[in-house]
Structure 1
Amino acid sequence: MALSVENHGTPAAPLTVVVMGVSGVGKTTVARLLADRLGLPRAEADDFHPPANIAKMSAGTPLDDEDRAPWLRALGGWLRERAEAGTGGVVTCSALKHRYRDILRAACPGAFFLHLSGGTELVEDRLAHRTGHFMPPSLLASQYAALEPLGADERGAVLDVGPSPEELVELAVALLRPVNGDLA
């Protein structure tokens, strides 16, 4: 059964979800659980970064818009491919700025943005305890500075990351259900 979301008066499109937010909010965990819960393919945005971007971030240097453009186009391509294949999908992506989300929407107009949001202290604590990731905690402030909330023209919702990942997935499914009656 293909999951679909009503797309502003056009025929239903497969469900595509971008789990977004600053580093350390739990995008990967929530995306994995949500994709498993809904039976959708999943992709991790970090896997789409070219080596130069990873090296830059590993050195503690924030990416600029020029660094992000090919990465965002690649993510948008993944979403478009899932929509065209009829499978839908869930992808993680910081998607911090409206114009970044515009790039993703240009590739996949029906994408739903699930913004995981948390206070600086909570996220700093999570980052301090995270191992094996190239993103240093020192870049968190630059991410919060760049973050633009979802606009009224953007299809999505904000979830506070205080609850457990499992609870967040149930909340996400409840948010997605009105636009997709097929969700279990």
Structure 2
Amino acid sequence: MGVAGCGKSSLGAALAQAEGLPLIEGDDHHSPASREKMRQGIALTDEDREGWLATLGQLLQAHPHGAVLTCSSLKKAYRDRLRGACPGLRFVFLEIDRANAGQRVAARAGTHFFSSALVESQFATLESPVGEAGVLRLDALLDLATLQQQASAWIAAQESA
């Protein structure tokens, strides 16, 4: 979880492969209307995210043996909604600063629907999950292999506890 440009999709794919779990790419489940709003640089509202969060919760429930979900989960209410659908859900928070997030989003402008104009709104919406149970904070600027290893080690430690 984290703001646009933090590396959710990259880490999610690496983690799903390393853990032998299915990957649920949250961006794939936004409605066409929400995708168009984001393409135009219009921030989504809680109402826009309602159906999306319901769908993600159902997808998590469809994988009782586990899955990796990439999802911004910017607000505690969103995370709590997903936790309600999937008790025991854990979050890897990829923390990044505004400048680096903006650069990353701008660099993928031709291949992703998310407008770089929305990066600031992502930071304005973000309610840090640091301190919540079941959350691992990682530095999004670390290389992908290190991030995946740290996340996998944390998952293993959680499962053995």
Alignment of 1:109-148 (within 5 A): 109-130=87-108, 131-148=110-127
Instruction: After superposition, give the CA deviation of every residue in 1:88-138 in whole Å (9 maximum; x if it has no partner).
Output: 100100000000011101100111011111111111111121131110110
* Correspondence for 1:10: none
Partner amino acid, structure 1, of 2:39 = S
* Correspondence for 2:30: 49
Give the whole-Å Cα distance in 2 for the aligned partners of 1:152 and 1:172.
Answer: 17
Give the whole-Å Cα distance in 2 for the aligned partners of 1:46 and 1:111.
Answer: 19
Structure number with the higher strand fraction is 1
Which of the residues 12, 17, 38 maps onto 2:19?
38
Gaps of 5+ in 1: 1-19
Gaps of 5+ in 2: none
Which of the residues 40, 58, 64 maps onto 2:39?
58
Partner amino acid, structure 2, of 1:93 = C
Instruction: After superposition, give the CA deviation of every residue in 1:131-177 in whole Å (9 maximum; x if it has no partner).
Output: 31110110000000000011544311110112111110001112112
What TM-score, normalized by structure 1, do the two folds share? Answer: 0.83
Number of residue pairs the alignment of both structures matches: 159
* Correspondence for 1:171: 150
Which of the residues 26, 29, 32 maps onto 2:10?
29
Give the percent of matched residue pairs that are identical in Structure 1 and Structure 2.
40
Give the whole-Å Cα distance in 2 for the aligned partners of 1:150 and 1:163.
Answer: 19
Give the whole-Å Cα distance in 1 for the aligned partners of 2:98 and 2:132.
Answer: 26
* Correspondence for 1:91: 69
| Runs of 4+ residues over 6 Å off in structure 1 | none
Structure number with the higher helix fraction is 2
Choose 1 or 2 for highest CA Rg.
1
